[in-house]
């Protein structure tokens, strides 16, 4: 997916500033991280010492006490290997520990921030993109902390440490090596990157040809009905011929790369050895020193080549960090924990809209609600009807304080909504939507979502009032029955009754029903409507409806059209209005 492929970001001042914000998550473990860095430096230095002593081991054959010299150097080499193994072990363990704890904190902070963001943010972002931020991006940072950062530091130490040793060993041979080896390594890196990019394009071409097969076989009815078999054959032939052409071109590139590796890499090695043997013959260099020099040259060349990949990985990490920090820059809602919420024990459930207008931020030129003014008394049942796009669902969003009105005021119990704690106000409301969302756990967990911590007896009582216990008790696992992802194991009517049980358990003062029975069969609708009638007793109820048959018994019916209140009254009053919108809607539904 294009979304999950990280864009390369330039190492700008702003991007580095955003990346440094990660330090706050590393800071609690900076001691462990510092010790890990020390072990990394020691491991790199041990790595640099190894070629020197290998060269000394070769030159030991020219010493007076040859065997004693060989034994001593061999012991030193063994000691270096053991020390390197030990420090490498502790370096990896420390880096992994710090990384896991840091990323756990970062994941928790990201999720905590995400869940507190307003609904408007989620209307602009796709769930897949947000999930990518908290999974793929953070996993990329894990690779950076555990591997890329360590590799970057190691390669810098190897390059500069190795060059220093080489300059001390032979300045002349070092300058010659620098003119040959790094250039060849860099050409090899960029050539290899080009071939990988080309191979990816090849995979895209193959995927396109496979898409033709998949689509035509899935739509074989249409292919045959329109007699387009030969059209599809020609389309597939053209695509596969293109794949073959690209593949042959890729073969030329790979062949050229192989030839370059043989000629360039080994040619550079031969050139350095040639120059080194001349210096040995001239008495300016020992044979062991030449061997050490070759090892250091290989180390330095490999590190220079590796830096390109490290830089690319750092660019990806910076991109991931920027995307994460952009989320943290979004303002959260002012919500409160259970312990910090005020108890609204005297909350009645009166609602009043006063000259309220609203437009969505993404559509500033399209007013959704305009100068809306009406009131709902505590315990009253108000139905809201109107054509599609009239603003009914927006009304629900404003009641739940998902958005702030552009102008006007929303009152609860004659008190402006903004004077309440947001979480405490939402505690007094419950919503039963048309498209019920159930979490993938058990029925018990889904009902208890209305009031976490409720006893099993309270959950069963809520299920009975919602006409849900009748089918729940027939399951072998009863309340512990898994509902599956989004409740797929339950029928539409069963999901609705579980949602109603959830609302009953919450015991809200204000109930919002958004087309709660429109997608059900007759028997399910009867059971759900009966449960809803139980739920609405004694509560302020706002019923959003397209089917007017479900709102005839409402205390009052509010008719919206293009965001404006056009009619308000009970069924008898509105149906008797000549040329009224409610009467027109009724005629369309009952007298088609």
Which tens digit of pLDDT belongs to each residue from 47-96? Answer: 777 777 777 777 666 666 677 777 777 788 888 888 888 888 888 888 88
**How far is it, in rounded angstroms, from Cα 456 to Cα 469?**
12
CA nearest to 376, candidates 494, 526, 133, 539: 539
Quote the pLDDT of residue 4: 40
Q: Count CB-CB contacts under 10 A for residue 140.
A: 19
**How far is it, in rounded angstroms, from Cα 312 to Cα 197?**
14
**How far is it, in rounded angstroms, from Cα 448 to Cα 502?**
6
In the chain, domain spans: 11-162+315-332, 171-284, 349-428+511-520+539-592, 436-507
CA nearest to 98, candidates 147, 26, 154, 40: 26
Q: Is the pLDDT of residue 592 over 60?
A: no
pTM of the model as a whole: 0.67
Q: Is the pLDDT of residue 590 over 60?
A: no
pLDDT tens for residues 542-585? 888 777 767 777 888 888 888 888 888 887 877 877 777 877 77
Q: Is the pLDDT of residue 150 over 80?
A: no
What is the third-level CATH fold of 349-428+511-520+539-592? Rossmann fold (3.40.50)
**How far is it, in rounded angstroms, from Cα 551 to Cα 485?**
32
Helices (H), 60-145: 66-116, 119-124, 127-132, 138-143
- pLDDT (average), residues 273-294: 78
Evaluate whether 11-162+315-332 and 349-428+511-520+539-592 have a shared fold. Answer: no
**How far is it, in rounded angstroms, from Cα 379 to Cα 306?**
71
pLDDT tens for residues 363-390? 767 778 888 888 888 888 888 887 777 7
Q: Give domain 11-162+315-332's CATH superfamily.
A: ABC transporter type 1, transmembrane domain (1.20.1560.10)
Contact indicator for 185, 305 with CB cutoff of 8 Å: yes
CA dihedral 329, 330, 331, 332 (to 10 degrees): -120
Q: Which residues pair with 482 in a beta bridge?
A: 442
Round to the nearest angstrom and report the end-to-end CA distance of the chain. 47
Task: Specify the residue for token string 């955003």.
Answer: 18
- The top-level CATH class assigned to 436-507 is alpha beta
């Amino acid at each position: 997916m294009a979304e999950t492929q990280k864009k390369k970001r330039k190492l700008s001042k702003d991007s580095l500033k955003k990346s440094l914000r990660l330090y706050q998550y590393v800071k609690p473990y900076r001691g462990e991280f510092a010790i890990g860095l020390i072990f990394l430096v020691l491991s790199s230095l041990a790595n640099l010492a190894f070629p020197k002593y290998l060269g000394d081991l070769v030159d030991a054959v020219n010493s007076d006490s040859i065997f004693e010299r060989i034994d001593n150097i061999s012991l030193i080499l063994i000691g270096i290997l053991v020390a390197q193994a030990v420090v490498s072990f502790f370096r990896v363990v420390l880096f992994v520990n710090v990384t896991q704890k840091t990323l756990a904190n970062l994941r928790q902070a990201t999720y905590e921030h995400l869940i507190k963001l307003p609904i408007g943010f989620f209307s602009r972002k796709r769930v897949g993109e947000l999930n990518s931020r908290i999974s793929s991006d953070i996993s990329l940072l894990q690779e950076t902390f555990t591997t890329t950062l360590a590799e970057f530091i190691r390669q810098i130490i190897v390059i500069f440490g190795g060059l220093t040793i080489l300059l001390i060993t032979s300045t002349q041979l070092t300058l010659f090596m620098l003119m040959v080896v790094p250039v060849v390594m860099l050409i090899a890196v960029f050539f290899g990157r080009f071939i990988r990019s080309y191979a990816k394009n090849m995979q895209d071409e193959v995927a396109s040809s496979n898409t033709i097969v998949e689509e035509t076989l899935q739509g074989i009815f249409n292919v045959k009905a329109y007699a387009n078999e030969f059209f599809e054959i020609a389309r597939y032939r053209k695509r596969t011929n293109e794949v073959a052409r690209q593949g042959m071109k890729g073969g030329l590139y790979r062949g050229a790369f192989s030839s370059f590796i043989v000629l360039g890499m080994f040619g550079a090695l031969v050139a350095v050895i040639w120059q080194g043997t001349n210096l040995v013959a001239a008495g300016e260099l020992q044979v062991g020193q030449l061997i050490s020099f070759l090892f250091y040259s290989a180390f330095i060349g490999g590190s220079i080549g590796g830096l390109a990949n490290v830089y690319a990985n750092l660019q990806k990490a910076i991109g991931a960090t920027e995307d994460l920090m952009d989320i943290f820059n979004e303002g959260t809602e002012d919500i409160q924990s259970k312990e910090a919420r005020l108890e609204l024990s005297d909350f009645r459930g009166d609602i009043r809209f006063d000259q309220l207008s609203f437009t969505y931020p993404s559509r500033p030129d399209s007013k959704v609600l305009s100068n809306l003014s009406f009131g709902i008394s505590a315990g009253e049942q108000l139905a809201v009807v109107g054509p599609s796009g009239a603003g009914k669902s927006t009304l629900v969003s404003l009641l739940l304080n998902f958005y702030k009105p552009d102008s006007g005021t929303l009152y609860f119990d004659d008190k402006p909504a903004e004077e309440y704690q947001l979480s405490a106000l939402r505690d007094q409301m419950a919503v039963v939507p048309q498209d019920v969302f159930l979490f993938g756990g058990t029925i018990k967990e889904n009902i208890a979502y209305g009031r976490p911590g409720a006893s099993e007896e309270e959950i069963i009582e809520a299920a009975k009032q919602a006409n849900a216990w009748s089918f729940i008790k027939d399951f072998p696992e009863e309340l512990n029955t898994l509902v599956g992802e989004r409740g797929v194991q339950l029928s539409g009517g069963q999901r609705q009754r579980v949602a109603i049980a959830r609302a009953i358990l919450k015991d809200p003062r204000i109930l919002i029903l958004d087309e709660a029975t429109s997608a059900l069969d007759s028997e399910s609708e009867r059971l759900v409507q009966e449960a809803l009638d139980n739920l609405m007793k004694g509560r302020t109820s706002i019923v959003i409806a397209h089917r007017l048959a479900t709102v005839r018994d409402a205390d009052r019916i509010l008719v919206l059209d293009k965001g404006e209140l056009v009619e308000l009254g009970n069924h008898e009053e509105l149906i008797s209005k000549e040329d009224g919108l409610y009467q027109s809607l009724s005629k369309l539904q009952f007298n088609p």
